[in-house]
Structure 1
Amino acid sequence: MNEQLVLEARNKSGDYFRQGYNCAESIFLAFRDLVIPDVDPALVRMMTGFGGGLGHSGCMCGALTGAAVVLGALRGRVSADEDREVAYGLTSGFHDRFEAQFGSTCCRAINPYTFDTPEHLKNCLKVTGNTGKMLMEYIQSQGLVPDQE
């Protein structure tokens, strides 16, 4: 495991969040920088609605949906004729790790504070950074990025 890359993923995810990006945008941008550089950075706009558990509805955590997008970029399909089970398996595996770590996949359960309060933002920063760390560990364990120490 390349621990430097894991640390960089955590830090970049948190840094983007501190700059004002939401949790989903932050995961996308950090991993775009680190492992999917050929993806157009303007595609971050697709991530905006995932913040706040899908537009402040408090449902699926945006950091988790951002991670699912990254996994899709790495192993998703571009044709209906291709096998979708590879991406499904990777996403399901990460989902289970995320839920084990945070006790839920639901934004309002993970972060019970009122949206955009200092407490909420502090907690979301921790979740976003830790999700970046976990995702990098996961994609390395799955052989999706070179393990260069």
Structure 2
Amino acid sequence: MTATDIKNFTTEDLLDKVQANAEELFRSGTYFCSEAVLQTINEFLGTPYPKDVVKLASGFPIGMGKSGCLCGAVSGGQMALGMVYGRVEGEAMQEKMFEESKALHDYIMSEYKSNCCRVITRQWAGDNFKSPERKEHCITITGKVARWVANELIADGKVEVEAE
């Protein structure tokens, strides 16, 4: 997906493509949840960061290094939001960063009643991520987070798509 491609899609078609891309990166084993979200959004933005930026997300899968804490997809989504709303040394913090970060948190809370990997996946507790059902559940969350982030960036005018 390139920045040029983005302008050839309607918002809904583009969001479907973003979601499918993140899900396929996870499903194929190319990346885990956090990495798939970050990579997908980097591509969605036209790859403003080198492809190896995905390494920053490698410690977050399965709730931060398999600890079961914060959902890796949410971690990846937070990093992806930082690609657009984050700051560098000397810059003031954009209030929008906090607003979007909280909104992502609240979105996952409304969907799953938690942001905690072990809670969101509790029905598969003890399977150490081995069941195909758990993997599919996490793939779905990964796609939803990537879609949510992309939608927010479109809504905020950070990414332009074809007029509806």
TM-score (norm 1): 0.91
The C-alpha deviation readout for 1:91-124, integer Å capped at 9, x for no partner, is: 1122111211222111111112223212221111
Give, in angstroms, the shift of residue 141 of structure 1: 2.1
1:105 partner letter = N
SS at match of 2:59: helix
Pair 1:133-2:143 in alignment: no
Displacement of 1:137: 1.9
Q: How far 1:36 moved relative to its partner?
A: 4.7
Aligned-CA RMSD value: 1.6
Residue identity over aligned pairs, in percent, reads 27
* Cα displacement string for residues 15-47 of structure 1 (whole angstroms, at most 9, x for unaligned residues): 100121110000011111111512111121111
Q: What CA distance in whole angstroms lies between the structure 2 residues aligned with 1:52 and 1:148?
A: 36
CA contact (8 A) 2:44 2:150 kept: no
Helix, strand or coil for the counterpart of 2:24?
helix
Matched, 1:11 2:20: yes
TM-score normalised by L of structure 2: 0.83
2:77 alignment counterpart:
67
Kindly state the Cα deviation for residue 86 of structure 1 after the two structures are TM-superposed: 2.5
Aligned AA for 1:68?
A: Q
Name 2:61's counterpart in structure 1: 51
1:115 alignment partner, one of 128, 142, 145 = 128
Distance in 1 (CA, whole Å) between partners of 2:82 and 2:48 is: 14
Greater mean alpha carbon deviation, residues 69-78 or residues 117-126? 117-126
Which runs of 5 or more residues in structure 1 are unaligned? none
* Structure 1 pair 7–42 and aligned structure 2 pair: CA distance change class (3 A): same
2:37 is matched with: 27
CA distance in 1 between counterparts of 2:46 and 2:92 reads: 20
Q: Report the number of matched residues.
A: 149
Contact preservation (8 Å) 1:67, 1:135: yes
Distance in structure 1 (CA, Å) of the matches to 2:153 and 2:111: 16
**Which consecutive residues of structure 2, in runs of 5 or more, have no partner in the other structure?**
1-9
Question: Distance in 2 between the 1:81 and 1:72 partners?
Answer: 13
